[in-house]
């Protein structure tokens, strides 16, 4: 099955905030975070059912290098990213 990924407004806002923070720390670091998030998208497109549930409707995937999780749900062939959370500030 071919899946589509979409992001809720909250997730977009959280990604922008994280990007800005990392860019303030070091030039280019925000872009490295975006690459990690893109890698998560690619994994989800291959097999979104692989990752663990956090409740009956939502699942999570963790970025490799940065301490973030993407919280998502699957509706048919749509993968909806609801939030992108820093695991030390907003654990699940």
Please name which of 86, 10, 92, 3 lies closest in space to residue 43, comparing C-alpha atoms: 3
pLDDT at 90: 55
Taking the chain (92 residues) in consecutive chunks of 10 residues, what is each chunk's mean pLDDT? 95 98 97 98 97 97 96 97 88 51
What does the pLDDT read at residue 11?
98
The contacts of residue 51 (CB under 8 Å, 6+ apart) are 44, 59, 60, 61
Could you give the domains of the chain? 4-86 (3.30.2310.20)
């Amino acid at each position: 099955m071919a899946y589509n990924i979409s992001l809720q407004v909250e997730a977009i806002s959280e990604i922008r905030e994280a990007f800005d923070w990392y860019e303030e720390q070091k030039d280019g670091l925000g872009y490295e975070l975006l690459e990690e998030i893109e890698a998560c998208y690619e994994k989800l497109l291959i097999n979104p059912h692989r990752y663990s549930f956090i409740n009956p409707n939502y699942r999570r995937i963790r970025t490799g290098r940065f301490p973030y999780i993407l919280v998502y749900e699957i509706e048919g062939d749509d993968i909806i990213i609801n939030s992108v959370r820093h695991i030390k500030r907003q654990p699940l």
